């Protein structure tokens, strides 16, 4: 409408006698503002400022100009001359209009719950390949964990902690009002297993990373579950609401072209320290037939190779972004193209991505505006296999006396280190197994996937009257991922050698469609303002996957046709039904929702909402459920205006209650049969069947979560300081425990039931300080503080009563430690084996012992004994995170950096345990020193006051078992209270003054290309990622994740097993606007 008016009034208007010209500038930065609407009050005369902030309009002295511009306070300015300089103040108090419902903005003061906004520019400035990684430290309460530092790694994002023990805890992604899939391929469930596919050894990009960071205008994070009314139960973990860029077409400017690029250099700074002081062998005896390094000391002058240094290489990357805005005021287009190419620090890793996006906005008639958009991305990710049997652990294991770079013989066959007589297996007979050389592992064992991702969206807004808005958002997204994982016939990984090569091909296609149609009406009754929204939503997801695994692929082809026909296996659905059907997982959801807001005098806002939802995941008898919510926002500073003064400018109190539901995976409530082998005379069309292990409980209900939140927003000292603080408390009950053990009385071995619950609490504080606001110099600081704590209230009684732990097998990565959960503890606990300790007050069954008694020692060996039970021994929950963003501007120079502080939370350093078990960690350096392990002897008196103190002398050099997992159990590798202070991003940019560009002297005597280019803006930047890390963690990087983003529940965050650190990245590039 506004644009339409502008269009009309940009025609010459008669009847004004005087032409007034002026310049509009930003109060703070004193920079010209382009596109400000200038209107003469009481007339139809309207104008707009140009790029240099100037405008002309016909107006008489004394008439009032109304200046309005998004993000700035509307100003009424009385004409007092013919050449005006007007300054607009940024609308601090209302600046934070946030996108809540679909892509419709709502004023922050209305909202009774917490939201936080991040500008797309800020994310882009980080130059990170996935914008999700750029969010860390910028949102109080958001935890982002990247699986590893290689290109295409998946990232897990969790808002406000883990509410669900078994289901997905990641927020919903919404792009321009349309729900967008962010799933990560779950290798364990989706890929056949000939080559040992699992989420520890392979990783798949989380698909939201396909979104071009350059297309993001802004991101609003809805941290609590309040968004579920609008987006459905899929948003029960909060929502990341993304607004993409639209064409910035004004009447004066119908073509904008922006180009930027970035060139990146990456290098790995931190690797775990590997100790190479001793030769191969055991118990001090030389044995070159083992990788264990418990042999004699390395002789003087032994040539040692820097295998680790030789292995990691520098990564190089480049990004090119082009954005073009064109069209008319009525119908404008934005087209963007992006090319990204990055090779990683691990040899053989690379991610290439191409993005394309076209968005149009067209006004039809007086009332209708439609915004269709189309996006496409193509990514090609070449990967290395990590985790157990992966390159990193092999690299650490490789003796430094050997140059690992020579991984092949001159004849092209694998060079063996230990089994020097390697003729036998050259025929692929698989008689000799030897851990792969790391170079062999990355060059010969291959993994790669390609994704094509399409999306088509349509937004329709219909505003027939001032008080009524009808909006529809329709979104379709389709992507395919085709990939393979290959293990060479000579590889010792998995059983590849025996199998003469293993190849998994997998094909994945995902189609999602969703729409939301809503109507919103506003009406005022005196001082009461009301708004009512009703709507309906349909959300449909279809995941299909298919895979072929085969062995005997000796020709090193990555096509399944090269595997032995008889060895090929397909997905279960195919084998069962005889035909090659794709596995299909689909769910449909339909909802009707309504939200009503009543406000009084624009100072008190009360909102109530309810959604009625039905899901195809549940049987018709119990598929309907609803969840209400309510929130209150009170602007104290407007109710009691006297408060406002020199110190306080704004004070809002808010509170909300929300209920939400969380659904199980499709088919989790349908037990199924498996083919069995039994004596039978069935006809050919029938295969004998029996029920599979799992009781997929048909009576499953959605998980419920009740959250309350209170918060406040305060602005002080003329908006120099702004504070947003929130406390929340969420109880997630009826949680679905999947695959838990119970009595066979259920009729099955593994069970599914609504029987767990968790309480999550936290405090989030965002503090903004505009420390310096000068003409040439700004300094802004923002702190994002988060402290969360939680408690598991219930796990399945069958596990609880025996003192057991409820765990996800995907977290059981190395030896006996896993993400085991116990009631009364936090959700992030690690359960593991530990030392057998004195138990002066026996507590009963299953070896539950106190955690602080003296270690019990074997009276023969002098080595500690093991408490071989999974007991809670560590907690991964991070106590406090604090992101600190500093922004400096000096004239045209901008410097910004983000420090990310983490305090607390334990990490299981499985990498160190692995190295210690091999005699290659620094822990084993002093092995020649005799010592007595402090503890008491197990002689029958150990649990009495008269326990015998151990005095058996042990020299680990002669007894490698000292470093074994029994005498030095998992408990010993829990690194407690990890602190890390990381300079995540630092960016320096220089923007050429416009005057330089517009007044630049073109050398038309000998013109170059640049002399013809109408360059409007030009800037250069350099950005560093992960430049500095200060930590008390002994491993490579405390941001460790032993799984990938497909893991549900708490996942394998805090398990460091063969992880590589985030590499240091150095980016440089330019931005230019035409």
The whole-angstrom separation of Cα 149 and Cα 869 is: 34
Distance CA 416, CA 413 (A): 9
Residue 198, both tokens = 């699992």
Q: Which is nearer to another protein, 695 or 831 (CB)?
A: 695
The nearer residue to another protein, 267 or 676, going by C-beta atoms, is 676
CB of 802 to another protein, least distance (A): 5
Whose CA is closest to 918, among 19, 342, 281? Answer: 281
The nearer residue to another protein, 283 or 626, going by C-beta atoms, is 626
Closest distance to another protein from the beta carbon of 803 (Å): 9
Nearer to another protein, 697 or 877 (CB): 697
Q: Tell how far CA 339 is from the center of its chain.
A: 22
Q: Where are the alpha helices (DSSP H) in 633-768?
A: 636-639
Nearer CB in complex with another protein: 45/516: 516
Closer residue to another protein, CB minimum distance, 257 or 576: 576
CB-nearer residue toward another protein: 753 or 765: 753
Burial label for 83, CB within 10 Å (0-12, 13-18, 19+), is: exposed
8 A C-beta contact, residue 222 and residue 238: yes
Beta-carbon neighbour count of residue 199 at 10 Å?
26
| Cβ contact 133:149 at 8 Å | no
Query: CA-CA distances (angstroms) from residue 822 to 755, 768, 793, 826, 1000?
Result: 13, 39, 8, 8, 69
Q: How far is the CB of 741 from another protein (least distance, A)?
A: 6
Nearest to 185 by CA among 209, 171, 205: 205
Rounded Cα–Cα distance for residues 459 and 102 (Å) = 10
CB of residue 678 to another protein, shortest distance in Å: 4
Smallest distance, another protein to C-beta of residue 737, A:
8
CB of 536 to another protein, least distance (A): 4
CB-nearer residue toward another protein: 12 or 745:
745
| Residue 188 C-beta: closest distance to another protein, Å | 14
Q: How far is the CB of 865 from another protein (least distance, A)?
A: 17
Q: Considering the complex, what minimum distance in angstroms separates the CB of residue 586 from another protein? A: 5
Strand partners, 510: 479, 543
Closest CA to 572 of 585, 562, 560: 585
Burial of residue 598 (CB within 10 Å: 0-12, 13-18, 19+) is middle
Q: Whole-number minimum distance, CB 761 to another protein, in Å?
A: 27
Quote the tokens at residue 671.
């037990």
Of 254 and 573, the one with the shorter C-beta distance to another protein is 573
Handedness of CA 987, 980, 771, 718 (dihedral sign): positive
Which CB atom, from 769 or from 797, has the smaller least distance to another protein? 797
For the chain, the residue count is: 1074
Closest approach of another protein to the CB of residue 742, in Å: 5
State in angstroms the smallest separation of the CB of 592 from another protein. 3
**DSSP SS3 for 740:** strand
Cβ 1066 vs Cβ 264: under 8 Å: yes
Nearer to another protein by Cβ, of 509 and 586: the residue is: 586
From the CB of 690, what's the least distance to another protein, in Å? 4
**What does the alpha-carbon distance between residue 762 and residue 786 come to, in Å, rounded to a whole number?**
7
What's the burial of 745, exposed, middle or buried (CB within 10 Å: 0-12/13-18/19+)?
exposed
Assess contact for 804 and 870: CB atoms under 8 A: yes
Report in angstroms how near the CB of residue 785 gets to another protein at its nearest.
39
Q: Which helix (H) or strand (E) holds 1068?
A: strand 1064-1073
Nearest to 819 by CA among 827, 809, 830: 830
* Nearest approach, Cβ of residue 472 and another protein (Å): 12
| C-alpha to C-alpha distance for 760 and 325, rounded to whole angstroms | 45
Q: DSSP string covering 942-977, please?
A: TTSTTPPBP--EE-GGG-GGGGSTTTS-GGGGEE-S
* DSSP-derived secondary structure for 884-950: EEEEEEETTEEEEEEEEEEE---EEEHHHHHHHHHT-SGGGTTTTS-EE-SSEE-SS-TTSTTPPBP
Smallest separation, CB 871 to another protein (Å)? 15
Nearer Cβ to another protein (298/689): 689
**Residue closer to another protein (CB basis): 216 or 668:** 668
Closer Cβ to another protein, 378 or 544, answer by number = 544
Long-range Cβ pairs for the range 411-420 (8 Å, 24+): 413/490, 414/440, 414/444, 414/488, 414/490, 414/491, 418/288, 418/289, 418/290, 418/291
464: Cβ–Cβ under 8 A, 6 or more apart, which residues? Answer: 367, 470
The C-alpha atoms of residue 111 and residue 656 are separated, in whole angstroms, by 9
CA–CA gap between residue 457 and residue 890 (Å, rounded) = 41
Say if CB 1 and CB 463 are below 8 A apart: yes
* Minimum CB–partner distance for residue 696 and another protein (Å): 8
Q: Which is nearer to another protein, 525 or 852 (CB)?
A: 525
Q: Which residue lies nearer to another protein by CB, 592 or 1022?
A: 592
Residue nearer to another protein on the CB measure, 744 or 777: 744
Q: How far is the CB of 563 from another protein (least distance, A)?
A: 19
Instruction: Output the CA angle 183-188-190, nearest 5 degrees.
Output: 60
DSSP state of 996: H
Q: Which is nearer to another protein, 397 or 533 (CB)?
A: 533
């Amino acid at each position: 409408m506004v644009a339409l008016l502008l269009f009309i009034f940009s025609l010459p208007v008669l009847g004004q006698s005087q032409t007034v010209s002026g310049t509009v500038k930003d109060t703070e930065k004193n920079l010209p503002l382009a596109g400000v609407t200038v209107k003469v009050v009481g007339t139809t005369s309207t104008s707009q400022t140009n790029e240099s902030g100037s405008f002309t309009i016909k107006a008489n002295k004394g008439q009032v100009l109304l200046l309005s511009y998004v993000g700035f306070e509307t100003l009424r300015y009385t004409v007092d001359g013919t050449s005006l300089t007007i300054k607009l103040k940024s609308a601090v108090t209302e600046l934070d209009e946030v996108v809540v419902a679909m892509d419709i903005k709502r004023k922050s003061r209305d909202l009774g719950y917490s939201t936080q906004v991040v500008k797309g520019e800020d994310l882009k400035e980080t130059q990170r390949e996935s914008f999700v990684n750029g969010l860390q430290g910028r949102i109080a309460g958001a935890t982002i964990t990247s699986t590893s530092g290689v290109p295409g790694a998946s990232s897990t994002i969790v808002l406000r902690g883990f509410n669900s023990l078994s289901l997905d805890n990641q927020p919903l992604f919404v792009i321009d009002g349309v729900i967008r899939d962010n799933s990560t391929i779950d290798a364990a469930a989706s890929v056949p297993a000939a080559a040992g596919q699992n989420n520890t050894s392979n990783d798949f990009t989380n698909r939201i990373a396909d979104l071009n960071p350059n297309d993001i205008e802004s991101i609003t994070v809805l941290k609590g579950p309040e968004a579920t009314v609008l987006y459905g139960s899929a948003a029960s973990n909060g929502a990341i609401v993304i607004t993409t860029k639209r064409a910035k077409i004004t009447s004066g400017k119908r073509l904008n072209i922006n180009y930027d690029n970035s060139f990146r250099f990456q290098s790995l700074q931190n690797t775990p320290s590997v100790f190479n002081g001793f030769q191969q062998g055991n118990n001090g005896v030389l044995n070159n037939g083992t990788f264990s390094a418990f042999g004699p000391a390395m002789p003087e002058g032994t040539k040692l190779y820097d295998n680790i240094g030789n292995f990691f290489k520098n990564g190089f990357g480049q990004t090119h972004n082009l954005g073009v805005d064109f069209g008319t005021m009525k119908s404008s287009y934005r087209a963007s193209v992006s090319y990204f190419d990055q090779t990683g620090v691990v040899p053989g890793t690379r991610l290439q991505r191409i993005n394309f996006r076209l968005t149009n906005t067209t006004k039809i008639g007086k009332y209708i505006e439609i915004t269709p958009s189309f996006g496409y991305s193509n990514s090609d990710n070449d990967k290395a296999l990590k985790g157990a049997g992966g390159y990193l652990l092999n690299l650490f294991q490789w003796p430094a006396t050997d140059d690992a770079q020579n991984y092949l013989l001159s004849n092209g066959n694998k060079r063996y280190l230990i089994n020097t007589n390697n003729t036998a297996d050259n025929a692929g007979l698989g008689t000799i197994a030897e851990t792969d050389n790391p170079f062999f592992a990355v060059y010969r064992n291959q993994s790669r996937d390609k994704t094509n991702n399409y999306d088509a969206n349509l937004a329709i807004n219909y505003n027939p009257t001032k008080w009524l808005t009808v909006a529809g958002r329709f979104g379709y997204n389709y992507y395919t991922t085709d990939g393979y994982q290959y293990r060479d016939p000579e590889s010792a990984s998995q059983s590849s050698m025996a199998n003469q090569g293993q190849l998994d091909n997998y094909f994945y296609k995902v189609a999602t469609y969703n729409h939301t149609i809503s109507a919103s009406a506003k009406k005022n009754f005196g001082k009461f303002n009301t708004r009512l929204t009703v709507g309906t939503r349909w959300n449909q997801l279809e995941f299909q996957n298919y895979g072929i695994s085969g062995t005997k692929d000796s020709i090193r082809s990555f096509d399944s046709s090269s595997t032995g026909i008889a060895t090929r296996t397909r997905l279960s659905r195919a084998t069962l039904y005889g035909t090659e059907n794709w596995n299909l997982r689909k769910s449909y959801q339909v909802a009707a929702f309504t939200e009503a807001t009543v406000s009084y005098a624009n100072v008190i806002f009360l909102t109530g909402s309810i959604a009625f939802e039905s899901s195809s995941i549940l049987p018709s008898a119990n598929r309907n459920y609803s969840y209400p919510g309510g929130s209150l926002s009170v602007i104290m500073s407007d109710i009691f205006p006297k408060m406002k003064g020199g110190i306080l400018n704004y004070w809002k109190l808010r509170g909300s209650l929300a209920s939400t539901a969380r659904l199980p995976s499709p088919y989790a409530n349908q037990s199924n049969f498996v083919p069995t082998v039994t004596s039978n005379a069935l006809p050919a069309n029938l295969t004998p069947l029996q029920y599979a292990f799992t009781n997929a409980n048909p009576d499953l209900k959605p998980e419920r979560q009740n959250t309350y939140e209170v918060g406040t927003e305060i602005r002080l000292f003329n908006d120099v300081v702004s504070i947003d603080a929130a406390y929340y408390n969420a109880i997630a009950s009826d949680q679905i425990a999947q695959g838990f053990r119970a009595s066979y009385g259920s009729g099955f071995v593994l069970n599914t039931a609504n029987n767990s619950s968790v309480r999550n609490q936290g405090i989030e504080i965002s503090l903004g300080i505009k420390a310096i606001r000068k003409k040439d110099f700004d300094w802004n600081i923002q702190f994002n503080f988060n402290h969360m704590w939680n408690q598991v209230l219930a796990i399945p009684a069958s596990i609880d009563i025996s003192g057991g732990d409820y765990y996800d097998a995907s977290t059981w990565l190395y030896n006996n430690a896993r993400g085991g959960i116990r009631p009364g503890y936090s959700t992030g606990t690690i359960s593991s084996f530990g030392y057998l300790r004195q138990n002066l007050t026996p507590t009963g069954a299953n070896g539950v012992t106190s955690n602080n008694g003296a270690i019990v020692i074997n009276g023969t060996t002098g080595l500690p004994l093991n408490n071989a039970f999974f007991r809670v021994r560590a907690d991964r929950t991070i106590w406090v995170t604090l992101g600190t963003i500093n922004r400096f501007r000096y004239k045209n120079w901008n410097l910004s950096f983000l420090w990310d502080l983490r305090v607390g939370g334990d990490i299981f350093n499985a990498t160190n345990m692995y190295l210690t078990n091999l005699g290659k960690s620094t822990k084993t350096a002093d092995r020649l020193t005799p010592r007595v392990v402090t503890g008491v002897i197990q002689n029958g008196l150990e649990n009495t006051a008269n326990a015998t103190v151990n005095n058996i002398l042990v020299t680990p050099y002669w007894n490698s078992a000292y470093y074994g997992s029994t005498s030095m159990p998992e408990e010993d590798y829990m690194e407690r209270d990890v602190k890390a202070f990381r300079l995540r991003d630092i960016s320096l940019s220089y923007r050429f003054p416009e005057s330089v560009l517009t007044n630049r002297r073109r050398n038309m005597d000998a013109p170059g290309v640049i002399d013809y280019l109408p360059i409007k803006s030009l800037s250069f930047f350099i950005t560093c990622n992960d430049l500095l890390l200060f930590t008390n963690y002994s491993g490579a990087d405390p941001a460790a994740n032993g799984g990938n983003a497909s893991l549900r529940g708490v996942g394998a965050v805090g398990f460091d097993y063969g992880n590589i650190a985030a590499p240091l990245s150095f980016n440089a590039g330019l931005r230019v606007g035409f």
